[in-house]
Amino acid sequence: MKVGFIGLGIMGRPMAKNLIKAGYELVVFDLNKEAVEDLASCGAAAAESSKEVASQVDVVITMVPNSPHVRAAVLGENGVAEGAKPGLVVIDMSSIDPTESKAIGAELAKKGIEMMDCPVSGGEPKAIDGTLSVMCGGKKELFDRFYDMLMVMAGSVVYVGELGSGNVAKLANQMVVAINIAAVSEALTFAKKAGTDPELVYQAIRGGLAGSTVMDAKAPMMLDGNYKPGFRIELHIKDLNNALNAAHAISAPSPLTAQLMEIMQFLRAEGCDKDDHSAIVKYYEKISGTSIVK
Ligand code: NAD
């Protein structure tokens, strides 16, 4: 199977490399020429546009920041739709608003192109290891057809439902993660102000009901004052914006997500938008006038 890959950033680059390692023939494009050259040196064919990618392959994967970028790559000038052969399938693995996944899918369908939304969680380390969690929306028949290819990049690939469902799952994930990081931040800042050692409090509670993957990943970073991304605040703002838009469209009140959005606006105003999302703790440190860094 010949695979097109558009969007070779932090995530797309290692994902594409894993497909090459597994024996897939790749045709790649990114607005960043250096990324395309890097993939070409690993054996991919370099294209000059998304249109040129689409004209040579059976399936196109997109891994770009947000829905305007997906639209530009697939429906824009020199985009996938202009070059697509009959029967082409687009698998968008970017994290975008599910309403947009459906809208883009409907426009592609008019041109005879099918689409799945298959966003991922796990970040750069898991993209490199090929152990991402992939959540899939679209026709079940497409899921079955591309399951093995997706598993090359993943530790788990789960079918969630119709087109858009993958991004509903991804936004649910992003809501839980943001709220969980805030809960850890609030608790450890409280512990510090109460005169205890936040690191010992973390060690005392991590094995109980309060423990979580988020706590184990982020509390050590907070205690070290290490905010190297990881997952940048600016991308989490993008996800919470998509989550709130999608939630408001269906009257699903999401008060905690809205509160986290405002905390992240504070962090952006403070110039922390390139920090890892563990920097949510900086908001708590500021409002409580303390620091939990060891
Ligand atoms: P990134 O900014 O590092 O990479 C995006 C790439 O897309 C860039 O190389 C850019 O040049 C390219 N691009 C943008 N518009 C394009 C277009 N029209 N045509 C061709 N190329 C185009 O972003 P990333 O961190 O790789 O994230 C990609 C997606 O994965 C986002 O939706 C993000 O939310 C999601 N995601 C990221 C992480 C993470 O930890 N970084 C984890 C899970 C999911």
Catalytic residues: 170
For the record, the structure tokens of 199 come out as 């690191």
Does the residue 230 lie in any domain? yes
Ligand 1 atom nearest to 13, measured from its CA: 26
Boundaries of domain holding 207: 169-288
Q: Whose CA is nearest to atom 15 of ligand 1?
A: 69
Ligand 1 site-directed mutation target among 5, 6, 8, 10, most atoms within 8 Å of CB: 10
Q: pLDDT for 90-110, tens place per residue?
A: 999 999 999 999 999 999 999
- pLDDT given for residue 123 in this prediction: 85
Q: How far apart are CA 166 and CA 247, in angstroms?
A: 15
Same domain, yes or no: 150 and 183: no
Does the residue 293 lie in any domain? no
Phi, psi of 46, rounded to the nearest 5 degrees: -90, 135
Same domain, yes or no: 61 and 129: yes
- pLDDT given for residue 11 in this prediction: 96
Query: Which of 264-268's residues contact partners 24+ apart within 8 Å by CB, and which partners?
Result: 264/178, 264/233, 264/236, 264/237, 264/240, 265/237, 267/233, 268/233, 268/234, 268/237
- Domain CATH code at residue 95: 3.40.50.720
CA 260, 265, 267 angle in degrees (round to 5)?
95
Same domain, yes or no: 175 and 264: yes
In total, the chain counts a number of residues equal to 294
Q: pLDDT for 141-159, tens place per residue?
A: 999 999 999 999 999 999 9
* Residues lower than pLDDT 70 in the chain: none
Give 2's strand partners: 25
Does the residue 60 lie in any domain? yes
Q: What's the structural domain count of the chain? A: 2
